[in-house]
Structure formats: C-alpha cells, structure tokens
A = this chain, B = another copy of it.
C-alpha cells in the first residue's frame, strides 16, 4: 500500500472508531488480527452495560459493576489505541475527525455514538422528567427517587406527602417497564422498614404508554402478560395515554392531572448529534439511513453501526438493541477487511436472537422466535444472559453477588444520594 496523508503509518490503514459501546468495541475486537491500526475514541473512559443501567438508577447496583474501562477491555490487543476525547465533527472530504481539541485522519471510519433521549420537541420537559442513557442520568434518577422518600418523611401535610410518594414513568418500552417494576419494588420492600412515617400502601407508581399496550415490539400475548405482572407488582398501567404537559409537580394526561414530584422519561430516543455531520439522509429519529453494507451513501469508507444506524434487514427495521449493535460491529470489521483485500461482502443481515425485559423480583418476559416465556423461568434466563454479556469476570461476580444479596435480603445495596440535596419540605416539631 502506498503511503498517504490520511492517517497511514507503517503502511497499515488507520481505522478510527468513534464510541466504545457494544458496536464500537466489537468492531475493534473483530479487527484484532486485521492488517490495520485502530484508534477508538470515546468521551468516557468506560464501556457502559446499558441494559442494566436502570438497576443503578434504582439503587440495586453500583455503577462500577456495569461499567468497564475501555482500555482494560482492549488491553491485550496491540493494534489498537484508545483515546479519551469528544468527537465534534467529521470532514468527509479530507477524511478527518475533529475532536474538542485537535483532529485525526482516518482511512476507515466507524461511527457508533448511539442515541440519546428525545422529548418530541418538548425540551422543557427534560428538566422535570430525566431520561436514562448515561451514568450521570442514572445518578440523577437515583437522587430524585431516594430524595422523594426523604422529602415525604419530612413532610407533615398529607396531600403534599402523596405528591412525593407518586412516581410516574412515561413510556412502556423495556426501559420504562423495568424502571416502573423496580420503583414499585423499592416502595413495597425497601422503604417499608426504613421510614417511620411512610405507609407503603400509599406509594403509587404509574406507567404511561401512548400505544395500546406495553412492550409494543413484543408479541401481544407477552405484552398482556407483562401488564399483568406489572399490575400484580403494584404498578398502575395506563395504555393509550399521552402526556400533554409535564412540570415540577406532575403530569397531565387526557385532561387529567397526576400530582407527582418524580417523573421519569422513557418514551423516545433521538440520534446523537454527530449523525448530522455525515451529510447523509436521516430517518425520523435522526438516525443515519445507511447502505446495506452499513456504509454512508457515497462514502464506502464510513460506517454507521449500532443504535445510530437506520437499516432494514429481511424487510424489517433492525431494532436499537445491544445484540443488533454487536452484529453490526462484527459486520463492519469484516467489511473493512474485505475492502482492504478487495473482496465483496454480502449485505448486512440481522439475526433476531430474541428480546427480554424484567418486571421485578422473579418476573420477566422472554421472546425467542416462537418461544415465549414469562415469570420466574424468564427471569432466570434474563439473569444468566445478562451476566454472560457483561464484560469482565469481576463485574460478573459483583453483579451476581449484588443480585443474590438483594434477592435474599430484599435490600438494595446502593441507596446513596449524591449530588445536590435541595427542595426538601420544612422540618417542624410536629413532623
């Protein structure tokens, strides 16, 4: 290969991967024996196991248990270097990425920066109803939920106390269902003994969903089963209901107002801003419509993978889930090697390995092809699979220990309020 100015050094083409999530990390690993040098850039120094992030938000796990340093994950791989940095732009013509300070040339680029939550244009809702995508989001949700109970304990007015003890989750996809289930469990199990003046039966968890059923991407039978499991866990499920207003003390739905000091957002996602830099067609959520080989139209050397990619396989949209990101990561690596070695590659094809969601203690649903499970067995399957996909033996052991402990003791190990403590009700001698 001739020397070029686009980032080659010692003759090997330079593959730059932006994002160390499921997709980006997989691409790097699959290129371990390829004749390339790799730079993986992420604005965090860790890979985050997002499927368990709701357990950090609900105080069941420590964040260290589900985050793994990207450097450590790639330590043994000599052809990769990891850079901490925030990619702000892409110059497709010059084949360079712009960081917050400095820039880098690439021969092949893999963009895997994922999605963030979307408030459907109601950006003012963000302040009142935090979503769950990052570690900081999880800490903020944990802080609000735990603080609500502390506020209720200080509050002497019964009406005001009820507002502190009402939790609303907007959106009944997997994250919303898992959050609602965990919130209900906190109310029923953890809080009962910790607080002196809170009656656990007065705690309300409301799950709002615009569509006519929860977990709309699953089979109808499982949606119905999930709703029953949620209801028997104490969650009020309201389908076919759209939030029309959210402020700091409640939610408006269908003309009715639910007074609630804690509202969590799990209703929508939008692409990370880097998508716009790719000068490619975007779908409604801002994701990049890629070619069948996951490359950006007109730029065969640039790939978009994971949640950021909008692509169809077997006539269906590929869902924004971890297994899809991993499969795209594997594919992008193979495609890059094929390009270097002048081979063609068959189009990307998504193999649906199934989907699953937990609802709470001993309750989950699993859908694999035509096999549909619900309840305890589904919950065990869910647990084993999530442990398997965690990175690192230490994290697996720590999560397994945390789960076992919680299961036996009904306790949540990480009930810490970090960050600002404010807005608590007045203390009086009477309360």
A: residues with CB less than 8 A from B are 7, 9, 43-46, 62-65, 67, 69, 71-72, 75, 81-86, 99-105, 135-136, 146-147, 150, 153-154, 193-197, 394, 397-398, 401, 405, 409, 411, 413-418, 421, 424-429
Contact = CB atoms under 8 A, between A and B. Distances in A.
Given A195-B71, A405-B394, A84 B421 contact: yes
9 contacts: A45-B150, A45-B416, A45-B417, A85-B424, A101-B424, A102-B425, A102-B427, A135-B416, A397-B405
Contacts of A46: 415-417
Given A102-B425, A394-B411, 15 more contacts: A46-B417, A62-B63, A63-B418, A64-B413, A69-B415, A69-B416, A81-B196, A83-B150, A84-B153, A84-B417, A85-B424, A103-B428, A105-B429, A398-B401, A401-B401
Contacts of A427: 83, 85, 99, 101-104
Interface centre among A7, A411, A415, A427 (most CB of B within 10 A): A427
Nearest to A196: B81
A154 B85 contact: yes
Identical chains in the assembly: 2
A49 to B, nearest CB: 13
A43 B422 CA distance: 10
Contact of A150 (B9, B84, B150): B84
Contacts of A71: 194-195
A416 B136 CA distance: 12
A84 B154 contact: yes
A148 B153 CA distance: 43
Contacts of A146: 45
A134 to B, nearest CB: 10
Interface centre among A86, A146, A197, A418 (most CB of B within 10 A): A418
A416 B63 contact: yes
B154 A45 contact: no
Nearest to A101: B426
Contacts of A394: 405, 409, 411, 413
Contacts of A417: 44-46, 84
Contact of A72 (B136, B194, B196, B418): B194
B62 A415 contact: no
Contacts of A72: 194, 411, 415
A75 B193 contact: yes
Contacts of A425: 101-102
A194 B75 contact: yes
A85 B417 CA distance: 12
Contact of A104 (B65, B414, B429): B429
Interface centre among A67, A101, A401 (most CB of B within 10 A): A101
A417 B70 CA distance: 12
Given A45-B415, A153-B83, A413-B64, A102 B426 contact: yes
Given A44-B417, A417-B45, A421-B43, A429 B64 contact: no
